[in-house]
Amino acid sequence: MLVVTKFGGSSLSCATQFAKVKKIVEADAKRKIVVVSALGKRDTSDTKITDLLYILHAHLKYGVPYEDIWEMISSRFLKIKSELNLSYDIKSDLNSLEKELNKSIPEDYLVSRGEYLTAKLMSDYLGYTFVDAKDLISFHYDGKIDYALTEKKVRLAFSEYGIMVVPGFYGAYPNGSVKLLSRGGSDVTGSILAKCLNVSLYENWTDVPGILAADPRIIENPKAIKEITYEELRELSYMGANVLHEETVFPVQSLNIPINLKNTNDPEHPGTLIKNVCDDKVDLVTGLAGKKSFVSFNISKNHMSNEVGFLRKALTIFEKYQVSVEHIPSGIDTFSVVVPYSEIEKSQYEIITELKNTLEAEVSLDDDIALLAIVGRNMAGKKGLCGLIFQTLGEEKVNVKLLAQGPSELNIIIGVSQKDYEIALKSLYQKLLA
C-alpha cells in the first residue's frame, strides 16, 4: 500500500508548519511520496513565495531594482533552514540562483524555484530523497502531459529511491526547459504521481477541514463534507466552490484512487474523502455552490415548437460568437439560453440582432441572473425535494427565474436575481444542510 501525500503552501509556511508535516509523514509508513508547494503565507498579511517570485520576475524584466524582493525570498528559506538546523547548503543554491537573475531569466524557471527549494529543505528534514519534478513530469511541446514518459520516469525513480520528496507545480519539455502547470498546480502534480504509481490513496493536506458544504464567505461555519464523488466535486467546483485545482481529479479518477483532503493543523480530523462511489446514504444534499453574473437570452416566437431546426439555428449563432452555453430552459413557444456574462460582454448586441434576424423571433436579454447549484448523489429519485426548495425560497420571497435539472439528477440549478443570491443560499443551507 502506497500513499502520495501533498502539502500546500500554508502547510509549509514556517518551521512550525514543517514540523507538523514531518509528524504527519512519519505517522504512516505508507506516505512514501511527498509533494510540496512553495512556502505559503504565514498570516493573512504575508505574501506567498510564488507571488514574490512572479513579482521578482517582473522587476527583472522591466529593469526595476529587485534586491529587496530577492532578500524577502531568500531570507524566508534561510530562516527555515536555520530554525530546523538542516545541513542542506541552501545558501549556495540561493547564491547560484542569484547569479542567474537577469532580464532574460525564463519566468517559468524562476517561479518554479519556489517549489524546488521548498522540496530540497523538506527532503533534508524528512530524510527522503529529493527528486526534481523536471526529471519526472514530462510535457509534449503542445503543453500536454506525456503520460507514457512520465509514468516510466516516476516508476523508475520510485524503484530506485523508495521514499522521495518531489516539488509540485512544474515539469519539463523534452528539451529539459522548465514548464509550470497553472496556478495551484501542485495538486495536479500529486495526482499525476498517484496515477503513475497506481497508489491506494492520494492525500492532499491544506489548512481547511475539508471541502465545505457551502461558501464560507456567505454561510458562517459551513460543515465539511465527509464523502463526495468525483462527479459531485466537479459540479461543485464548476459552480464556484474553490477547493482543489480543477484538474486534480482527472488523473486519479480513471484508476479510482481516492483523494483525502486533510487539515495539517488538525490531522486527526477525517477531512473529506473524494472517490468514485460513496455508499453512505446519510445526506440527501452534499453541498451548495453558486455564481453570479449570468445572463439569459429569452427567445420567443408563435408556433416555434413546430419549426424543425429552430433551436439549432439559435445555437449556431452562439457558436459563431464562441459563447459556451450553460443552460437552455424551454417552454412551448419560448426558450432561453443562459450564458456567463463574461462570454457575451463584447458581443451581446450583435448576438441579439443576429438572433432576431435569423429566427424572426422576439429576443430580450435578462442580465440579472445568479445561478445556484444544489448537488447531491442521493437526490436522484427522491420525492419532495423540489417542493421543499421552492417552499423555502417562497418563504424568503425569492423569485425563481429559471430551473434546470440534468438527467442524472445529481444537481438542481436555480436561477435567481443577483440581489436574492445570498438569501437564497442561506435559506437553502439552513433547510437542507444545517
Judged by beta carbon, residue 186 or residue 260, the one nearer ligand ASP is: 186
Cell of 49: 513565495
Cell of 376: 447531491
With the C-alpha atoms ordered 378, 381, 383, 385, is the resulting torsion angle positive or negative?
Answer: positive
Task: With contacts defined by CB under 6 A, name the span among 94-102, 133-141, 180-188, 409-417 that binds ligand ASP.
Answer: 180-188
37 binds ligand ASP (CB under 6 A): yes
Judged by beta carbon, residue 187 or residue 354, the one nearer ligand ASP is: 187
Interface with ligand ASP: number of residues (CB under 6 A): 14
- The whole-angstrom separation of Cα 325 and Cα 239 is 14
With the C-alpha atoms ordered 76, 79, 80, 81, is the resulting torsion angle positive or negative?
Answer: positive
Task: With contacts defined by CB under 6 A, name the span among 185-193, 216-224, 267-275, 395-403 that binds ligand ASP.
Answer: 185-193
190 binds ligand ASP (CB under 6 A): no
Which residue stretches of 127-198 are H helix? 147-161, 186-196
Closest by CA to 199, choosing from 135, 151, 271, is 151
186 binds ligand ASP (CB under 6 A): yes
Task: With contacts defined by CB under 6 A, name the span among 181-189, 214-222, 283-291, 415-423 that binds ligand ASP.
Answer: 181-189
297 CB contacts (<8 Å, ≥6 apart)? Answer: 336, 337, 339, 351, 352, 355, 363, 364, 365
Distance of closest approach, residue 183 Cβ to ligand ASP, in angstroms: 4
401 binds ligand ASP (CB under 6 A): no
Distance of closest approach, residue 133 Cβ to ligand ASP, in angstroms: 11
Judged by beta carbon, residue 46 or residue 231, the one nearer ligand ASP is: 46
| 421 neighbors 292 (Cβ within 8 angstroms) | yes
Closest by CA to 52, choosing from 13, 7, 104, 81, is 13
Burial class for 299, CB neighbours closer than 10 Å (0-12, 13-18, 19+): buried
Distance of closest approach, residue 48 Cβ to ligand ASP, in angstroms: 5
Judged by beta carbon, residue 21 or residue 351, the one nearer ligand ASP is: 21
Which of 5, 13, 50, 191 forms a contact with ligand ASP (CB under 6 A)? 50
Q: Binding pattern to ligand ASP, positions 133-172, x when CB under 6 A?
A: -----------------------------------xx---
3-state helix, strand, coil in the chain (%, to 5): 40, 20, 35
Instruction: Please report, as residue ranges, which positions from 88 to 127 form the binding site for ligand ASP (by CB under 6 A).
Output: 114
Chain contacts with ligand ASP (rule: CB under 6 A) = 8-9, 37-38, 48, 50, 114, 168-169, 183-187
